[in-house]
Amino acid sequence: MKKYSAVIFDMDGTLINTEGLHARALQSALDKNGHDFEVSTVEEEMRGLTDQEFIKKYIKDDFKLEVILKDKFFYFSQILSRLSEKKCREMLSHGVKNLLQNLQKQGVPLALVSSASKAEISVSLERFGLASFFDFTIGFETTYFNKPHSSPYFAAFRRLNLFSEEVIIIEDSQIGLMAAKGTGAYVIHFTGFIEGVNTFNSYDQFPIHSF
């Protein structure tokens, strides 16, 4: 079997079941700024999008963009701070902490590529006890283009000083899988938080339900 040199993880929906929390936070920020959206609508429409892309698509107000983003981070941080330790453990992907510990012990470089902001990545990893495992993280601010474009992953390859063929990427969403597959890396499709049977078969190379 081919030996790979590094593993790159997506965060929301892959490491942690936090996509619903992002939707709640963004809905609260939108509501505060006079825009009425249902949480379910926000969660469905923002899957795989950056907050900026969602806001620009529906609000089309550059001045409000920064205000809504700041409010969203505030609400997201508040939601995280109110989670119990038991709830945090339940929201982690099954087996992911053991996997990260084992990879780290073996000296495997670990990176994280997310459509979330660097600030959101930081507070999320800290709250769920995962911050110490990653050599670096890439958020939406890191590259001009975001998922489904492959730019964030190519930025990670440069940081790792590796070719795509030497890397495993683990993703959950269709948009994330498109970005990952576009690099030529070996892609694992994590389905642990996906309801129903739609596993985006056209993008699957190796689907898994737990770690």
Provide block-wise average pLDDT over 10 residues at a time, the chain (211 residues): 87 93 94 88 77 83 86 97 96 95 97 95 97 97 92 98 96 91 94 64 64 82
Tell me: do 164 and 77 sit in the same domain.
no
Please enumerate in sequence order all residues whose Cβ is within 8 A of that of 70, keeping only pairs 6 or more positions apart, or say none. none
Q: What would the pLDDT profile of 170-204 be if each residue is shown by its tens digit?
A: 999 888 999 999 999 999 999 888 765 454 554 55
Domain count, the chain: 2
Tell me: do 154 and 193 sit in the same domain.
yes
Domain membership of residue 87 (yes or no) is no
pTM tops 0.85, yes or no: yes
Peptide bond into 148 cis (omega under 30): yes
Question: Residue 193: what pLDDT?
Answer: 83
Distance CA 171, CA 35 (A): 31
